[in-house]
Amino acid sequence: MGAWIDRISLGEKFTLDKAYADIFYSTGIPFRFADSPALETFIKLAQPAYAPPTAKAIAGPLLNHAHQGMMAKMNQFVQDQTRISLVSDGWTSLRNDYMVNFVAVFPNKSVKLNIAHDLENAMMAIEIDKISGVVTDNAACMRAAWKILEAKYPGLICNGCAAHALNILVKDVCKLEPYATILESSRHATSFVKDRNALTKRFERIQQHMHVDGELSGTLSTTA
């Protein structure tokens, strides 16, 4: 045995455990990776006195502690704001699960600056001097980001996606009669099929028979 023994106090271990767990939370690494024998071997070689938390601990008490810490920071941040806007957006998944997201928007955060910064980073990764145009959707924050980039890089042309604009146009047209009635009938028919698993599977089989290498191969009776 050596002349000294490397030891870690309970306080130091808890600090290390939190930092270790944050690696999983911030990167999206599956928790089960914490139980990897290879990772355990590496930790023992790097710091024999440290026993890292298990996947169960990372998914349990450490996650609860991280959540409480983040909520405390957010609560303090909210308290420091003078005005807050609440934005909501709902969508339906392919499994017909309906979800609603709520986002708090603070006056000291600028979406257009963040978007312009992210677009600029992407341009620099490609080689910014070779990029002559940037195409995004037609949201107001995107148009504001265009002005920032075009002012910083003369000659750069930013514009909205034509397909996105066409999609918005078609949606507006579908609000008019007789298209609105046809669209509503189509929605009812679609919901009727999606709400019945057996019928949905039948339509999927029909689609598989009708398409070969992306091309229509012929017609198939739906009454059989």
Please classify residue 185 by burial: count the beta carbons closer than 10 Å to its beta carbon, then call 0-12 exposed, 13-18 middle and 19+ buried.
Answer: exposed
Q: What is the pLDDT of residues 165-191, one digit of tens each?
A: 888 899 899 889 888 899 889 888 888
The pLDDT, as a whole number, for residue 211 is: 61
> How sure is the predictor about 118, in pLDDT bands with cuts at 50, 70 and 90?
confident
Q: Read off the pLDDT of each residue in 80-86 and give the average, rounded to a whole number.
A: 81
Question: Which residues are registered as beta bridge partners of 101?
Answer: 89
Q: Are residues 14 and 70 in the same domain?
A: yes
- Asked, for residue 141, whether it belongs to a domain, the answer is yes
Residue length, the chain? 224
Radius of gyration of the chain (CA): 27
Provide DSSP, 72-134.
HHHHHHHHT-S--EEEEEEEE-TT--EEEEEEEE-TT--HHHHHHHHHHHHHHHH-GGG--EE
- Asked, for residue 184, whether it belongs to a domain, the answer is yes
Q: What is the mean pLDDT of the chain?
A: 83
Domain boundary, last residue among 41, 75, 109: 75
Highest mean pLDDT among 4-8, 9-13, 135-139: 9-13
- Asked, for residue 85, whether it belongs to a domain, the answer is no
Q: What is the pLDDT of residues 48-72, one digit of tens each?
A: 889 999 999 999 999 999 999 999 9
Tokens of 113: 């600056």
Into how many domains does the chain fold?
Answer: 3
- Asked, for residue 222, whether it belongs to a domain, the answer is no
- Asked, for residue 190, whether it belongs to a domain, the answer is yes
The pLDDT, as a whole number, for residue 223 is: 53
The pLDDT, as a whole number, for residue 4 is: 46
- Which pairing describes strands 157-160 and 133-136: parallel, antiparallel, or unpaired? parallel
3-state helix vs strand vs coil in the chain, percent to 5: 60, 10, 30
Q: What is the pLDDT of residues 137-148, one digit of tens each?
A: 888 888 888 998
Question: Which residues are registered as beta bridge partners of 85?
Answer: 105
> How sure is the predictor about 109, in pLDDT bands with cuts at 50, 70 and 90?
low
- Asked, for residue 44, whether it belongs to a domain, the answer is yes
Where in the sequence is the domain holding 181, given as residue range(s)?
175-216
> How sure is the predictor about 218, in pLDDT bands with cuts at 50, 70 and 90?
low
Q: Is the pTM of this model over 0.85?
A: no
Express as a percent the part of the chain with pLDDT over 70.
Answer: 88
The pLDDT, as a whole number, for residue 66 is: 94
Highest mean pLDDT among 38-42, 121-125, 161-165: 38-42
- Asked, for residue 211, whether it belongs to a domain, the answer is yes
- Asked, for residue 1, whether it belongs to a domain, the answer is no
The pLDDT, as a whole number, for residue 68 is: 94
Residue 173's contacts (CB-CB under 8 Å, 6 or more residues apart) are 179
